Amino acid sequence: MDNIYYIISIINNYRGDSMDINFTQVFKEKKLKLTPQRIAVYNYLKSTKEHPSAETIHKALKEAYPTMSLATVYKTLKVLVDVNLIQEINVGEGNFRYDGFADPHPHIHCIKCSRVDDLEGVNFDFLNSSVKDNTDYEIISNKVYFYGLCPMCKKSK
């Protein structure tokens, strides 16, 4: 099984695909199958600052992977979320978006065009301890979303 991870790593490097060591290590440790489709979905998310839906990812990869179904994309996204390699975000539009940056961070959502961005330079690490001080709950995590108008929508207002 180790050989397959090594071979896939070589193939991806040859093709110019970037696949970080953490990705292959997590799959190896969890005894998960490392498929070209899973690699493609992961690489797509790591290559963009956008927060695409499963449908957007499927459309983007369809030409390179014509036999990959939308169901495969959904299953791959679930696996990647379950092993904490990506984030699943829900900004209240009825479907999930996905973020290749797995570390906890806030997002901002444009209420007009539905654009979602990472909110950089703002730290909310204090939230868990602050909430813990005001409840009997054991705080495990948090997700912070802000809503407003992006620069483009603000201009066209």
pLDDT digits (tens, 9 = 90+) for 57-100: 999 999 999 999 999 999 999 999 999 999 999 988 888 999 99
Domains, the chain, with CATH or none: 2-97 (1.10.10.10), 104-155 (3.30.1490.190)
Residue 127 has a pLDDT of 87
Q: What is the CA radius of gyration of the chain?
A: 18
Place of tokens 């979303």: 145
Residue 21 has a pLDDT of 66
37 contacts 68 by C-beta, under 8 angstroms: yes
Indicate the average pLDDT of the chain.
Answer: 86
pTM for this predicted structure: 0.80
Q: Which candidate, 12, 13, 87, places its Cα nearest to that of 45? A: 87
* The token pair that represents 44 in the structure block: 């797509």
User: Alpha-carbon distance 8 to 23, whole Å?
Assistant: 12
Q: Element (H or E) spanning 148, and its range?
A: strand 145-148
User: Alpha-carbon distance 26 to 81, whole Å?
Assistant: 12
* The token pair that represents 57 in the structure block: 């990812």
